[in-house]
Amino acid sequence: MKIRIVGLLLPLLLLAAEITVAEAGGRQIREVEDAIEIIREFTKIPENQIPPSLLRNSQAIAVIPGVFKIGFILAGNYGRGVLSIRDKYGYWTNPAFITLVGGSVGWQIGAQSSDIILVFKTMKGIDDIASGKFTLGADASVAVGPVGRQAGAGTDIELRSEIYSYSRNRGLFAGVSIQGASLEMDYDSIADFYGDTQIGARDIFETPDLNAPQVAADFRHVLIEQTRR
């Protein structure tokens, strides 16, 4: 009798485990889907797009959907997002999950949240992010990102900064000032998305054939599309 009960319960337990795994990675999948939409929206309107030349020469891109203000007395910002870098062969990696905490963001009046894109011109700071924590403006220079196909002369003429920042709020796109915020690896999200509690940022960046949900390939594909224009 006990054997029959175990036999009946086992498929249910396995199903429950599969559902738990699916639910665990569900939020991360939505975050990657949001990041794909944001990248496409940022590059859709020529007058407000990230300059194609900047994207072509980028070494890493971070997308943080829905960064929001936290607190009034202890003011700050918080958001979850994804980061992809170009590997040693120039290919975009699968997404690593990050958090953005604190710092000063040039919020639009009345804004409650903003989507943020960070375009890294160099690899400076990426090792720091992968190792633990990185502060915008302290560990690498960050500037308001220029917009438009002809941009470059208006802000930071020779594009000397290492990182350029952009935001979207209420359908408006613009470069945004962001200083002092820290970027950290979100290892819980990485474990949920890839189904492996031992995986780290360097594993993601150095393993092109890493087993991942389909949306990871979709994310890489949209980066390829937008950085080859």
* Amino acid present at 80: R
Predicted local distance difference test score (pLDDT) of residue 194: 95
Predicted local distance difference test score (pLDDT) of residue 109: 54
**What's the DSSP call for residue 131?**
H
Residue in 30, 45, 32 with CA at minimum distance from that of residue 174: 45
168-199 exposure pattern, b = at least 16 Cβ within 10 A, e = fewer: bbeeebebbebbebbbebbeebbbbbbeeeeb
Query: Does the predicted model carry a pTM greater than 0.85?
Result: no
Predicted local distance difference test score (pLDDT) of residue 143: 83
Q: Where are the domains of the chain?
A: 38-227
pLDDT one digit per residue (tens) for the chain, 229 residues: 444 443 443 343 333 334 344 444 789 999 999 999 999 887 777 777 888 888 889 999 999 998 876 655 445 778 899 999 998 888 999 999 999 887 667 655 555 678 889 999 988 778 778 877 788 877 788 888 888 765 544 444 456 788 898 888 766 667 777 878 888 999 999 999 999 999 999 999 999 888 999 999 999 999 999 888 7
Do 153 and 92 touch, CB atoms closer than 8 A?
Answer: no
Predicted local distance difference test score (pLDDT) of residue 70: 63
Distance CA 173, CA 149 (A): 14
Distances (CA, A) of 111 to 22, 31, 105, 174, 178: 33, 20, 11, 14, 15
